[in-house]
């Protein structure tokens, strides 16, 4: 409900910062209280812009800079009666006096009083302390001026080779933008994979696609120096050198906490401003939202910093409502994200397997591969889904999806399921939209739930590709029967070393032959292309006396993805640039 404050006793609300959190806070404060005096101070030129759209402006997919502007000061003034002052920087907060010091574009400093203050100061790009990072050909991509400067450089005609440092979502989008501009791209990442938030086997298809598209991937490499001015050469810690005409640093962000610290606000262990679920800080008159705050992770309950646009918008809305007298709460975050790299899309919600292990959780993992729509309708493409669930309760803890089409739909379904605390068995019961152009009768999200629920109920034992690789590399070679139940033709085109091939449709007739290969007391791992036929084989063998039969999660497709992940994680000797491009 909106505030009933009268015009005779207006509330003075000051918002520091615009973009996602600040602009959302200011407009929600107005909708909550018509009579409040609301002032927004933004040190930059643009109070509300789509920072997630910057790479697409850089590539030209968004043709006009003005298309990035979500709201202008004049619009906010007309529609919401907000006093928006761009190029005004708040330099300090006097919490005792409830005033902020504001410096305008001419350098003049004045004081502004508040009854409620909302800090939405955002974040700044991480820039390593290395030689050459302040050169004119070394840039970041976080603001509209950043994107404008990069676009001018790219279109200037003397940029051919681009170095992207950081293979997170922004780094991948920047790499795609440069590829679309016809440039040579080298992507450097400290971790031995692209998209470090994903598990390695889920990120490997993205790396493969970028490699095929012409991106030179330097994974597991640390940037040591950037030599600028010309000749522009980047040097890695390994000694490898990479010439470049333009370098873009996409190493993440750090929260802008100067004002919060100056105001005496409590900073938490995760490195952000401590707020309650109403976005109220340790000062009863100051709210905070966006990249600077700590949030509760919905799955773990831990405090985390999650600098993403979605949470920032929602946090700003809650802060604005409550500063104006409302009563909204912010539940928490999952870290849901999605990114497109060329023709491949990947995303994640909740915990990865690696993160769950770090939390000490006993988890089960499922891998499935499904077409984005009915396979009998031409044009379907495969997507890979990975679920992570609590082994004891079956609660879904996280999910990852990689594919060409339909990734967003399944990821959103699974994000809702994680947020709602659903079990993998609940996914079996989902009633999702189905028609051949859009899905299958068993939607990929449902199929992932079916497989995970079978594992949770112990209808079938399961082993991941990484687990199988570890068993095969053990001293006794695993000491188990490895059975490929695909067709002979499939097996001939490629198989896991050491596997015996008996097609699933011949299995019952060849059980004696199978027992000769491995007695019923000997453990067995069964696999097919995606895990479906091998599931049937495992059930048959279990009911016919084999005691320890595990299905390879995701089948041979997951085995290949794991091998690709291992390939990209291997250290590579340094090479000269000319040789690297052969």
Instruction: List, run by run, the mean pLDDT of 10-residue segments along the chain (582 residues).
Output: 45 95 96 96 92 90 89 92 96 98 96 97 95 91 93 90 96 95 96 96 96 96 85 92 95 97 97 98 98 98 95 97 96 97 96 97 96 94 97 97 97 98 96 95 96 95 95 78 97 96 96 87 94 96 93 97 92 46 30
Query: Tokens in use for 504?
Result: 């699933």
Give the pLDDT confidence of 524-553 residue by residue, as tens digits: 999 999 999 999 999 999 999 998 999 999
Q: What's the pLDDT score for residue 475?
A: 60
pTM score of the predicted model: 0.92
pLDDT per residue as tens digits for the range 101-146: 999 999 999 999 999 999 999 999 999 999 889 888 999 999 999 9
Sign of CA dihedral 246, 249, 250, 255: negative
**Residue-level pLDDT at 547:** 86
Which of 52, 250, 363, 528 is an active site residue?
52
Phi, then psi, of 467 in degrees rounded to 5: -65, -40
Which value, in Å, is the radius of gyration of the alpha carbons in the chain? 27
**What is the predicted pLDDT for the residue at 552?**
97
- The per-residue pLDDT for 302 is 96
**3 state SS of 29:** helix
Residue 538 has a pLDDT of 96
- Residue 44 pLDDT: 92
Q: Which residues contact 181 (CB under 8 A, 6 or more apart)?
A: 59, 60, 154
Q: Which percentage of the chain shows pLDDT scores above 70? A: 95
Strand partners, 89: 103
What gap in Å lies between CA 411 and CA 306, rounded to an integer?
18
Domains of the chain: residue spans and CATH: 12-123+255-323 (3.50.50.60), 138-251 (3.50.50.60), 343-456 (3.50.50.60), 465-552 (3.40.250.10)
Q: Is 52 a catalytic residue?
A: yes
Average predicted confidence (pLDDT) for the chain = 93
Strands (E), 277-408: 286-288, 295-296, 303-304, 337-341, 344-350, 363-371, 382-390, 396-403
Strands (E), 406-538: 461-463, 481-484, 500-501, 524-527
The span from the CA of 343 to the CA of 403, in Å, is 8
CA nearest neighbour of 118 among 11, 2, 35: 11
Identify the DSSP state of 292. Answer: G
What is the pLDDT, as a whole number, of residue 573?
A: 55
């Amino acid at each position: 409900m909106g505030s009933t404050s009268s015009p005779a006793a207006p509330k003075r609300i000051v918002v520091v910062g615009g973009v996602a959190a600040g602009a959302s806070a200011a407009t929600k404060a107005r909708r909550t209280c018509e009579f409040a005096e609301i002032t927004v101070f933004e040190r930059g030129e643009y109070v509300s812009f789509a920072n997630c759209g910057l790479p697409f402006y850089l590539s030209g997919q968004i043709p006009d800079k003005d298309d990035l502007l979500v709201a202008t000061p004049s619009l906010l003034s007309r529609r919401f009666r907000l006093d928006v002052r761009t190029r005004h920087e708040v330099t300090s907060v006097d919490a005792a006096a409830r005033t902020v010091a504001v410096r305008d574009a001419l350098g003049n400093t004045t004081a502004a009083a508040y009854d409620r203050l909302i800090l939405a100061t955002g974040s700044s790009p991480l820039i390593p302390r290395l030689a050459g990072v302040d050169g004119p050909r070394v840039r970041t991509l976080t603001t509209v001026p950043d994107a404008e400067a990069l676009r001018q450089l790219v279109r200037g005609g003397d940029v051919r080779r681009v170095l992207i440092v950081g293979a997170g979502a922004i780094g991948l989008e920047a790499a795609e933008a440069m590829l679309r501009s016809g440039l040579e791209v080298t992507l450097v990442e400290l971790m031995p994979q692209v998209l470090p938030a994903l598990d390695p086997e889920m990120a490997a298809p993205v790396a493969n696609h970028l490699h095929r598209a012409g991106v030179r991937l330097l994974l597991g490499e640390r940037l040591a120096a950037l030599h600028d001015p010309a000749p522009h050469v980047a040097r890695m810690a390994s000694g490898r050198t990479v010439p470049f005409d333009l370098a873009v640093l996409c190493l993440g962000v750090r929260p802008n906490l100067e004002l919060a610290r100056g105001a005496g606000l409590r900073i938490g262990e995760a490195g952000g401003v401590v707020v309650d679920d109403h976005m109220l800080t340790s000062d009863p008159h100051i709210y905070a939202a966006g990249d600077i705050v700590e949030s509760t992770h919905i799955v773990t309950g831990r405090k985390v910093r999650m600098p993403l646009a979605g949470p920032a918008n929602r946090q700003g809305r809650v802060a604005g409502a409550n500063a104006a007298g409302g009563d909204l709460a912010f539940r928490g975050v999952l870290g849901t994200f999605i990114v497109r790299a060329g023709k491949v899309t990947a995303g994640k919600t909740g915990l990865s397997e690696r993160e769950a292990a770090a939390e000490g959780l006993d988890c089960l993992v499922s891998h499935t591969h499904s077409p984005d729509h009915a396979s009998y309708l031409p044009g379907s493409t495969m997507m890979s889904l990975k679920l992570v669930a609590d082994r004891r309760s079956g609660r879904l803890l996280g999910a990852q999806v990689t594919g060409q089409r339909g990734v967003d739909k399944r990821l959103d379904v699974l994000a809702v399921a994680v947020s709602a605390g659903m079990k993998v068995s609940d996914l079996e019961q989902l009633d999702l939209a189905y028609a051949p152009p859009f899905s299958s009768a068993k939607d990929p999200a449902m199929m992932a739930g079916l497989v995970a629920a079978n594992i949770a109920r112990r209808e079938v034992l399961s082993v991941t590709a990484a687990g199988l690789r570890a068993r095969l590399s053990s001293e006794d070679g695993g000491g188990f029967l490895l059975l490929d139940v695909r067709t002979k033709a499939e097996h001939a085109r490629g198989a896991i070393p050491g596997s015996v091939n008996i097609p699933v449709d011949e299995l019952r007739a060849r059980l004696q032959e199978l027992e000769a290969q491995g007695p019923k007391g000997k453990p067995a791992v069964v696999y097919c292309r995606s895990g479906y036929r091998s599931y049937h084989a495992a059930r048959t063998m279990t009911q016919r006396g084999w005691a320890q039969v595990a299905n390879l999660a995701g089948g041979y497709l997951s085995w290949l993805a794991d091998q690709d992940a291992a390939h990209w994680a291997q250290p590579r000797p340094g090479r000269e640039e000319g040789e690297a491009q052969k």
